[in-house]
Amino acid sequence: MNILRKTLNLTLIIGCFICSANFANAQAKNAIGLGLGFNYSNKNGNGPGGVFQGEIKLDKSVSLTPSVGLEEPYIFYAGLAGRYYFSPVIYGSLGGFAYHNVDYGGAGAAAGIGFMLLIDHRQTFDINIHGNYLNNNYENDSPIVGIRLIYSFSFNKLYR
């Protein structure tokens, strides 16, 4: 019941952000951001975390997103993903990450979809829904699903 309450609260907060922001012309950008997230997994544990993320523009609709974070169930992770912007408000991401917690470390793959909400011409909220798959102690393990809300500051001007 406690996890249901946390998920409902996170959904309500994200809904408030969506209603108070304008949709951006999602384009690849050079940006830096901080965010919060929540992950869920049957085997690995679930809980909140934080992420520090960059975005490096490669082309009009393609970018790289390096990130580091402290999130449950990984404890510490570092990742690198590629983004492709499908439309003015939606992007897809695909990449990998390395992680370490108290007992073990390893690597995994990540895929996700995201939505950009424009605050002004240099600031956005990035809502990212992702799925991760990791190898845990040399055993195939259950997937992890999560959501992140990241505030980003863009070094290049963004347009609606």
The reported pTM is 0.77
Can you name the CATH fold of 2-154? Porin (2.40.160)
pLDDT for the residue numbered 136: 64
pLDDT for the residue numbered 151: 96
Which residues of the chain carry a pLDDT beneath 50? Answer: 21-25
Q: Domain map of the chain by residue range?
A: 2-154
Which structure tokens are listed for 26?
């999602």
Q: Each residue of 120-138: pLDDT tens digit?
A: 888 999 999 999 888 766 5
Q: How far apart are CA 143 and CA 146, in angstroms?
A: 10
Q: Is 16 helix (H, G, I), strand (E, B) or coil?
A: helix
Q: Is 46 helix (H, G, I), strand (E, B) or coil?
A: coil
